Chain A
Amino acid sequence: MTTAQEHAVTARPAPGRPPVAAPAAGYVGALLALLILAAGAVALRDAAVHFGWLRGAAWIDTAIAGLDGLSPQGWMLPAGVVIALVGLWWIVAALRPRRRTALEVPAQTSVWIAKADLARLARAAADSVPGVLDSRASASLRTVKVTADVTGDDPALEAAISTAVADAIGGFTTTTPRLKVRTRTGAH
């Protein structure tokens, strides 16, 4: 494969799927699998106890004996509420779509940039503005926030940072994120 731009773009590949986070239901599924694994291990241990291969009491038999004849207890009310809330949380996790983690880049093919990387671009752009000592940036799918420590209380500096950041990230997003720039002096 040879380099790049000397080749005219003749064929266009199918677009890849947008990058998304792992589904929340995946964590619930993994937890359920671990719980089932633990239950299986306990069942095998209790079987070994019954066969005389291990010493001690069978835990499942003890639990069944404890449950048989159980009457309502004070702790069951808060426990019931907590259990129902966990159940609701799992249902929401199962139905929630996978969260998008990156913004689409204006390109002819499927190109994406992660939110953290867009923030890093914004920070590098802010740092390049004369008068900026240091900066921090964060980005969501809709907003880029930049906080810059500056040398003086110059209102033009905020505009200069905004312009630099907008120029830097403009070529990397199809949708223009809302830009919030804050400057502060006396940080150093």
Chain B
Amino acid sequence: MTRTAVTFDRIAAVVAGLALVALGAALVVWTTNSVPNLPRRIAISGLHSATGTGWWPFALAGAGVLLVVVALRWLFAHTPAAKVKDLPLRRDDAGSITVDLGEVATAAAEALKQNLDVASASGKAVIDRGTRTVDLTVTTTATPRSDRLIPTIDAVCAQIAGVLSDPSVATRTTIHTGKRERRRVR
């Protein structure tokens, strides 16, 4: 999900929540008659008579299409983090050089797999809360040694930084503990 989608969800949840609180409170107040001079019946005769007019089906159809389009757009905003593709390294009159961040992430994962404590590794490039991030996932053996594993991760991430030379690209590594005790023979 993008930051915009999360912000939109938060605003929508607050607005809908406030509306529900207001509706619930109104129902309680109306039913218990705790506020004097409230009408004892809901009067929406104007709306009721509108359902018999000629324009009502067109209004329903228009509103229906609009609601479906808005809802589908909103639902599709709840997809996983957007992947980053190319990062421009250099651009001048002669042309431009770009690097595929996804491939950098994959190569970094391959490098991590060489470590004795790593059973498997994968990498992808995503935009995480507005930051372009090389996101590495390392699955270790059952009993990894931190003094062997963590310097390797640091070294690989430093290599990524060296290759990209762009301080705005971040790295993040998540360690998962595997179940296998020993590394299989390759």
Contact = CB atoms under 8 A, between A and B. Distances in A.
Interface stretch (A41-49, A140-148, A149-157, A179-187): A41-49
Interface in B51-70: 51, 56-58, 60-61, 63-70
Nearest to B50: A64
Interface in B142-182: 142-147, 150-165, 167-177, 179
Contacts, number: 327
A13 B51 contact: no
A175 interface: no
Given A1-B111, A77-B31, A77-B32, A34 B47 contact: no
Contact of B13 (A1, A19, A32): A32
B98 interface: no
A16 B131 contact: yes
Contacts of B114: 3-4
Contacts of A4: 111-112, 114-115, 151-152, 155-156
Interface residues of A, number: 92
Given A14-B170, A44-B64, A50-B57, 10 more contacts: A1-B108, A1-B110, A2-B111, A17-B172, A51-B57, A68-B47, A90-B14, A91-B13, A94-B17, A114-B176
Interface of B: 1, 5-6, 8-14, 16-28, 30-33, 40-45, 47-48, 51, 56-58, 60-61, 63-72, 74-75, 78, 104, 107-108, 110-112, 114-115, 128-129, 131, 133-135, 142-147, 150-165, 167-177, 179
